[in-house]
Homo-oligomer: A and B are copies of this chain.
Amino acid sequence: MNAIEKLRELFLTYLNDNHIDQSPVELYQPVNYIMELGGKRMRPIMLLMAYSLFKDDPERALPASYAIEMFHNFSLVHDDIMDEAPLRRGKPTVHNKFDANTGILSGDVMLILSYSSLMKTDTTKKDALVLLFNDIATKVCEGQQMDMNFETRVEVEIDEYIKMISYKTAALLAGGMKIGALIADAEEKDANLVFDFAWNIGIAFQLQDDILDTYGDPKKFGKKVGGDIVQNKKTYLVLKALELANEETATRLNGLMNTPTENENEKIETVKEIFNSLDIRREAEKLKKAYQVKAFDALDAVGVSEERKQGLVDIANQLMGREV
């Protein structure tokens, strides 16, 4: 078992040991359901890896890693209600399996449980952890609101899009990893570098998501390739295309984005042709690469041995090289 797998095992055992048996069951059953539904557990594992940069007893960071996973799942439960999503990880979403009210209230208690778990951490720095957690939790809500705003906004700037994905996706990863570093008593400078690493990797990860959604291998990609195009999502690919296109092409692309999809495959092909004519995939790869470079620069500057960093280098490369 490599380091990543070991930390995943450690986390999954802790998760299992913390199955909630409290009453009322109607409140906690949906919490157990979504927490035990699976997923890559990327956020808690990376928090444990951040801890492991500095210390060798990652068990100490388990309550915090559980807090981050609980918060992530809280946000999924509420987002799925807002998006009316029927499935999550191939299974019914909470509001679909139970009902919307259950989703709202169980989500609320999950948010509170994430604070409770964070407070279980054996550290003298609880204040700093809670302050940081408040900050990232607020950013996640702000990112979600920006995402909702963009759906109906006519023009979205690329900078705004990057801010939105930073808040919605990167902030929790970065905040979680900084929490891991702080619990391990890392110096403030190193904890901030870990934050920067994760923030930039998080953005690169989301850009990768945008690329894969349009250019992924249908055999390997879990969802339908082209889903973002069908849903008229204002991804980086679209925003960059609108920036680079001449007036005629921009009008055509805007027209496609503002019309309900009739023939899905035809629309995907037409939009992809526009992307290809503007070399959008390469643009996206270039930007993704730039964030990756920023991330690795930050990691390089962390004051621990290369050997200790290897696990994070591996997982980042694994995430960036993924095709699903």
Residue numbers of A with Cβ under 8 A of B are 22-24, 26-27, 78, 81-82, 101, 104-105, 107-109, 111-113, 115-116, 119, 126-127, 130-131, 134, 137-138, 141-142, 144-146, 148-149
Looking across the interface, which residue of chain B has its beta carbon closest to that of A141?
A: B109
On whether the beta carbons of B138 and A109 are closer than 8 Å, the reply is yes
On whether the beta carbons of B111 and A119 are closer than 8 Å, the reply is no
**30 CB-based A-B contacts, threshold 8 Å:** A22-B142, A23-B142, A24-B142, A24-B146, A24-B149, A26-B148, A26-B149, A27-B141, A27-B145, A78-B104, A78-B105, A78-B108, A81-B104, A82-B104, A101-B148, A104-B104, A105-B145, A107-B108, A108-B111, A109-B141, A109-B142, A112-B137, A112-B138, A113-B138, A115-B115, A115-B130, A116-B138, A119-B130, A119-B134, A126-B130
- CB-defined contacts of A24 to chain B, threshold 8 Å: 142, 145-146, 149
| Bound complex: CA A113 to CA B126 (Å) | 17
Closest Cβ of chain B to A311, distance in Å, is 31
Looking across the interface, which residue of chain B has its beta carbon closest to that of A71?
A: B112
- CB-defined contacts of A105 to chain B, threshold 8 Å: 78, 82, 141, 144-145, 148
Looking across the interface, which residue of chain B has its beta carbon closest to that of A164?
A: B24
- CB-defined contacts of A149 to chain B, threshold 8 Å: 24, 26
Closest Cβ of chain B to A117, distance in Å, is 9
| Bound complex: CA A134 to CA B115 (Å) | 7
9 more CB-based (< 8 A) A-B contacts, given A104-B104, A108-B141, A116-B138: A24-B145, A78-B108, A105-B145, A111-B111, A112-B134, A115-B115, A116-B134, A119-B130, A127-B127
- CB-defined contacts of A82 to chain B, threshold 8 Å: 101, 104-105
- CB-defined contacts of A81 to chain B, threshold 8 Å: 101, 104
Looking across the interface, which residue of chain B has its beta carbon closest to that of A113?
A: B138
Closest Cβ of chain B to A288, distance in Å, is 26
Closest Cβ of chain B to A249, distance in Å, is 30
Closest Cβ of chain B to A219, distance in Å, is 35
- CB-defined contacts of A113 to chain B, threshold 8 Å: 138
| Bound complex: CA A81 to CA B108 (Å) | 13
